């Protein structure tokens, strides 16, 4: 497994497997729900190679990985032994330690996160189909249109079935029962009742709740609603079903539970849904939709400025899920949403700022992060840009929010609306085409807003952010996570130091000796990682400086850790920032847990290819548990050394 070592560090950092309720992933993050966030080692995780940052929000402990999060997730659930796609059984009702807001965010994100991929894909197909019709490439009566429209629209038409599954997973209901409830809401005969011309009588006549009654259930009037593409009714129905199912399991004998529990759940839940839950949920949805649209109509430009400026902050803390729920409600009840679209320019503003930072910087690491972050930003994924570059330096992030506010104001000015839940970034444009009116100024307004946001973000960064590009963010060194491979995180201040016995270390490389304080890395140079020496190698092979156990073997091959038989904990880090090479030019020759002798080859690396990629090969040898020695002394007084020569004396 490529990310086995990283997965072990993440599991250790979140407090161990036993502290995990569940873990899922989105575009760039691992999203943990933990039993006790007090057991986490956040600073250790932030410092781990392969982790961009950690965000604690919305009842979730989010470990930001980047674009390869899916690969890390796959290895993580294997390493951790998590079953059922990363979920560990828990009781949703027992979340007393979460605030009401956190519980809402956790609920909405838990239901919608698993379906975001196909949801966006279906929306993109609908958007492109509308664009093809608007451009006259196909007609709305052609077979091509019918098939494309069905591919894109079916997901939304049968949305209650999809949400029935994810809601059942969230509320711990039988998933197929959840799907069955959603399917009944979309059943053709049920849908037909709502549009029937036969009206028995009208309930609540003359009020906001006035409803024509088309049918009854054993004499009880049924207020029919159109549940296709709806959101709130099915979620509330599954929540109600979870209580019915739990009650049924308690009273029904085990021998007949297999079929009687689903029977009781369905036979009670669906009539109650049609008679009570469905109408109330629909009225609430309509009210929420009307309120948000009324706020928007009060001042579209002001709403756009506010949403644009704050959207990235909302995303950071998971608060955007509330707006996503409102958007889906608006789409279901009105056929469009004017709210979330106001955030559209934010990703382009962030991309413009990071593009400028990438051109301004002289730091190779910043550039290596910036280029892929710009590409991701074009497609609407901005976490690498936010957490890797702009947010740690503060000023660039603020500048991106200013540019996003201007873009949001333009979207409000042009009256841009979204008509489907589509893609992100440039793939979102088709979502803004009104299928009835075609391409209009509101659509062109989205293009203008995006262009203005990216240009303004770029210009603001060039003018006001230049001095902040190469400021080193105040974080622990990216390799500090290798200091300890044990559960103990004790420090000198809170535990009695036990000194190890004296030992001697041989040189792991042949090359030129360099004092740690002289290398171009603040953390190693400051001794924060421990005392030691650096070597500029003349041959591409690193050897064990003593007999011991390999406790760290990075998949990328750029670093290896050893615990000697005498208790010295060593870190050998080949080059600076070479983790960005993702293993190119390195070959790890040992495995974690392997016992090695003095002089055993550990890593083979290509000096020339690493230098050609723009990276130094200067390699620190650091005693990470230096506090367990009175002194770490350099034995050799030569400027150059040969592998296996005596190099350090640990007293």
Q: Does residue 302 have a pLDDT over 90?
A: yes
Q: Which residues contact 105 (CB under 8 A, 6 or more apart)?
A: 57, 58, 59, 60, 318, 319, 321, 322
Residue 223 maps to a domain: yes
More confident residue, 4 or 580: 4
Q: Return d(Cα 530, Cα 358) in angstroms, integer.
A: 32
- Give me the pLDDT at residue 267, please: 96
Catalytic residue among 120, 558, 573, 630: 573
Contacting residues for 359 by C-beta, under 8 A, at least 6 apart:
none
With 70 as the cut, is the pLDDT of residue 170 above it?
A: yes
Mean pLDDT of 463-477: 64
**CA 222/CA 227 separation, integer angstroms:** 14
Close Cβ partners of 463 (under 8 Å, ≥ 6 residues apart): none
CA 493/CA 147 separation, integer angstroms:
69
Phi, psi of 23 (to 5 degrees): -145, 130
**How many angstroms separate the CA atoms of 128 and 528, rounded?**
54
Q: Who wins on pLDDT, 441 or 106?
A: 441
pLDDT score for 478: 36
Compute φ and ψ for 530, nearest 5 degrees: 135, 170
Residue-wise burial string across 518-545, b where 16 or more C-beta atoms lie within 10 A, e elsewhere:
ebebebbbeeebbbbbbbbbeebbbbbb
Q: Is the pLDDT of residue 108 over 80?
A: no
State the residue for tokens 């390999």: 550
Q: What is the phi/psi pair of residue 569, to 5°?
A: -105, 120
- Same-domain pairing of 73 and 163: no
419 lies in some domain: yes
121 found inside a domain: no
Q: How confident is the model at residue 489 (pLDDT cuts 50, 70, 90)?
A: very low
Q: Same domain, yes or no, for 637 and 511?
A: yes
**Whose CA is closest to 163, among 243, 241, 263?**
241
Helix (H), strand (E) at residue 649: strand 646-650
Token pair listed for 150: 């069905």
Q: What CATH code is carried by the domain that includes residue 512?
A: 2.70.70.10
**pLDDT of 494 above 90:** no
Residues 314, 444, single domain; the answer is yes
Residue 476 has pLDDT above 60, yes or no: no
Q: Could you give the C-alpha distances from 419 to 134, 339, 431, in angstroms and in order?
A: 14, 11, 6
User: For residue 171, what are the contacts with CB-CB under 8 A and spacing of at least 6?
Assistant: 92, 238, 239, 241, 242
Q: 462 with 507, same domain?
A: no
Beta-carbon contacts of 390 under 8 Å, excluding residues fewer than 6 positions away, are 350, 353, 354, 357, 396, 397, 399, 400
Average pLDDT over residues 526-549: 86
Res. 89 pLDDT band, cuts 50 70 90: very low
**Number of structural domains in the chain:** 4
Q: How far apart are CA 210 and CA 634, in angstroms?
A: 87
Asked if 589 and 515 sit in the same domain, the reply is yes
Q: Tokens for 370?
A: 């910036």
Q: Which residue has the tokens 């760290």?
A: 552
Who contacts 250 (Cβ-Cβ below 8 Å, separation ≥6)? none
d(CA 343, CA 321): 13
Is 423 among the domain residues? Answer: yes
Mean pLDDT for all residues in the chain? 83
The 8-class DSSP code of residue 38 comes to: G
The residue ranking higher by pLDDT, 497 or 527, is: 527
- Looking at the structure, tell me whether residues 197 and 217 fall in a common domain: yes
Q: Which domain range does residue 579 map to?
A: 493-650
DSSP string, 600-611: -EEEEE-HHHHH
Residue tagged active-site, from 25, 26, 120, 186? 26
| pLDDT level of residue 101 (50, 70, 90 thresholds) | low
Two structure tokens written together for 136 = 């006259």
Q: Are residues 210 and 198 in the same domain?
A: yes
- Which residues touch 465 (CB under 8 Å, ≥6 apart)? 353, 356, 357, 360, 393, 395, 396, 399
Look at residue 487 in the predicted model and tell me its pLDDT: 36
Q: Of the given ranges (81-90, 142-151, 196-205, 451-460), which has the lowest mean pLDDT?
A: 81-90
**What confidence category does residue 466 fall into, taking pLDDT thresholds of 50, 70 and 90?**
confident
Q: Which of 62, 90, 118 is the last residue of a domain?
A: 90
Kindly state whether residues 217 and 274 are assigned to the same domain: yes
Position 225 scores a pLDDT of 84
Q: pTM of this prediction?
A: 0.54
pLDDT digits (tens, 9 = 90+) for 124-163: 888 788 888 888 899 988 999 999 989 988 988 898 999 9
pLDDT digits (tens, 9 = 90+) for 609-651: 888 888 888 999 888 888 888 888 888 777 788 888 888 888 8
Q: What is the DSSP string of 369-434?
A: HHHHHHHHHHTT--HHHIIIIIHHHSHHHHHHHHHHHHHHHHHHHHT--BSS---SGGGGGGGG-B
Confidence of residue 74 (pLDDT cuts 50, 70, 90): confident
Mean pLDDT of all residues in 342-366? 89
Alpha-carbon span 422 to 331, nearest angstrom: 12
Q: State whether 395 and 351 are in the same domain.
A: yes
Verify whether residue 573 is a known catalytic residue. Answer: yes
Per DSSP, which regions of 58-210 are E strands?
A: 60-64, 201-203
Range list of H helices, 158-231: 159-171, 175-185, 188-194
Q: Do 454 and 308 share a structural domain?
A: yes
SS (H, E, C) 216-258: EECCEEECCCCCCCCCHHHHHHHHHHHHHHHHHHHHCCHHHHH
Angle subtended by helix axes 100-112 and 320-334, to nearest 10: 60
Q: What is the pLDDT of residues 243-300, one digit of tens each?
A: 999 999 999 998 898 999 999 999 999 999 999 998 888 788 778 777 878 888 889 9
From CA 645, how far away is CA 640, in angstroms rounded?
Answer: 11
For residue 125, is it within any domain?
no
Is 563 contained in some domain? yes
243 catalytic residue (yes or no): no
Would you put residue 102 in left (φ > 0), alpha (ψ -120 to 50) or beta?
A: alpha
Answer yes or no: is 447 within a domain: yes
The residue whose two tokens read 């509308």 is: 130
**pLDDT computed for residue 103 by the predictor:** 67
The CATH number linked to 19 is 3.30.1360.60
- Contact between 506 and 545 (Cβ < 8 Å): yes
- Please state, in angstroms and rounded to a whole number, the distance separating the CA atoms of residues 568 and 504: 10
Do residues 69 and 29 touch, judged by C-beta distance below 8 A? yes
Confidence of residue 480 (pLDDT cuts 50, 70, 90): very low
Does any domain span residue 140? no
- The reply to whether 285 and 303 lie within a common domain is no
Claim to verify: residue 238 and residue 317 sit in the same structural domain: no
């Amino acid at each position: 497994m490529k990310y086995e070592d990283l997965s072990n560090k993440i599991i250790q950092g979140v407090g161990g497997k036993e502290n995990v309720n569940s873990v899922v992933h989105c575009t760039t993050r691992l999203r943990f729900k933990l039993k006790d966030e007090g057991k986490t080692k956040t600073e250790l995780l932030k410092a781990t190679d392969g982790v961009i940052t950690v965000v604690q929000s919305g009842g979730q402990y989010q470990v930001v990985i980047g674009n390869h999060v899916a690969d890390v997730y796959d290895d993580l659930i294997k390493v951790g032994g998590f079953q059922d796609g990363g979920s560990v059984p828990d009781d949703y009702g027992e979340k007393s330690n979460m605030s009401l807001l956190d519980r809402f965010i956790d609920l909405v994100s838990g239901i919608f996160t698993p379906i975001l991929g196909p949801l966006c894909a279906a929306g993109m197909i609908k958007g492109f189909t509308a664009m093809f019709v608007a451009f006259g490439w196909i007609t709305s009566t052609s077979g091509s249109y019918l098939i494309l429209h069905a591919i894109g629209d079916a997901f939304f038409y049968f949305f209650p079935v999809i949400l029935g599954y994810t809601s059942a997973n969230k509320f711990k209901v039988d998933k197929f029962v959840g799907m069955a409830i959603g399917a009944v809401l979309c059943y053709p005969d049920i849908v037909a009742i709502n549009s029937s011309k036969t009206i028995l009588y009208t309930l609540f006549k003359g009020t906001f709740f006035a409803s024509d009654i088309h049918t009854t259930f054993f004499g009880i009037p049924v207020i029919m609603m159109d549940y296709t593409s709806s959101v709130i009714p099915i979620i509330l129905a599954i929540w109600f079903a979870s209580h019915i199912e739990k009650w049924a399991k308690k009273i029904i004998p085990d021998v007949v539970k297999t079929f009687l529990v689903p029977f009781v759940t369905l036979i009670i839940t669906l009539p109650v849904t049609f008679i009570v839950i469905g109408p109330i949920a629909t009225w609430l949805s309509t009210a929420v939709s009307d309120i948000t649209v009324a706020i928007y109509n009060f001042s579209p430009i002001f709403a756009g400025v506010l949403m644009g400026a704050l959207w990235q902050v909302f995303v950071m803390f998971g608060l955007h899920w509330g707006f996503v729920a409102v958007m889906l409600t608006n789409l279901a009840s009105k056929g469009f949403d004017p709210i979330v679209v106001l955030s559209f320019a934010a990703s382009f503003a962030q991309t413009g700022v990071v593009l400028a930072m990438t051109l301004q910087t002289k730091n190779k690491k910043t550039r290596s992060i910036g280029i892929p972050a710009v590409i991701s930003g074009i497609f609407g994924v901005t976490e690498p840009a936010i957490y890797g570059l702009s947010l740690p330096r503060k000023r660039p992030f603020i500048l991106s929010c200013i540019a996003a506010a201007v873009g949001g104001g333009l979207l409000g000015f042009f009256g841009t609306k979204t008509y489907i839940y589509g893609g992100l970034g440039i793939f979102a444009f088709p979502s803004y085409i009104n299928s009835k009116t075609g391409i209009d100024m509101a659509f062109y307004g989205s293009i203008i807003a995006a262009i203005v946001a990216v240009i303004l973000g770029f210009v603001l960064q060039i003018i006001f952010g230049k001095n902040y590009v190469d400021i080193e963010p105040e974080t622990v060194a990216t390799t500090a996570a290798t200091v300890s491979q044990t559960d103990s995180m004790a420090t000198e201040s809170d535990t009695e130091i036990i000194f190890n016995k004296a030992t001697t270390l041989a040189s792991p490389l042949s090359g030129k000796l360099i004092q740690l304080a002289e290398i171009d890395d603040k953390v190693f140079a400051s001794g924060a990682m421990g005392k030691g020496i650096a070597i500029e190698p003349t041959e591409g092979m690193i050897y064990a400086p003593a007999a011991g156990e390999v406790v760290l073997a990075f998949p990328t091959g750029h670093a290896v850790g050893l615990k000697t038989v005498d208790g010295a904990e060593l870190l050998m880090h080949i080059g600076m920032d070479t983790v960005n090479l993702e293993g190119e030019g390195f070959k790890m020759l040992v495995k974690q847990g392997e016992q090695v002798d003095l002089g055993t080859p550990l890593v083979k690396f290509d000096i020339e290819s690493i230098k050609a990629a723009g990276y130094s090969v200067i390699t620190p040898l650091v005693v990470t548990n230096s506090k367990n020695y009175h002194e770490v002394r350099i034995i050799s007084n030569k400027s150059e050394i040969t592998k296996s020569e005596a190099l350090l004396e640990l007293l």
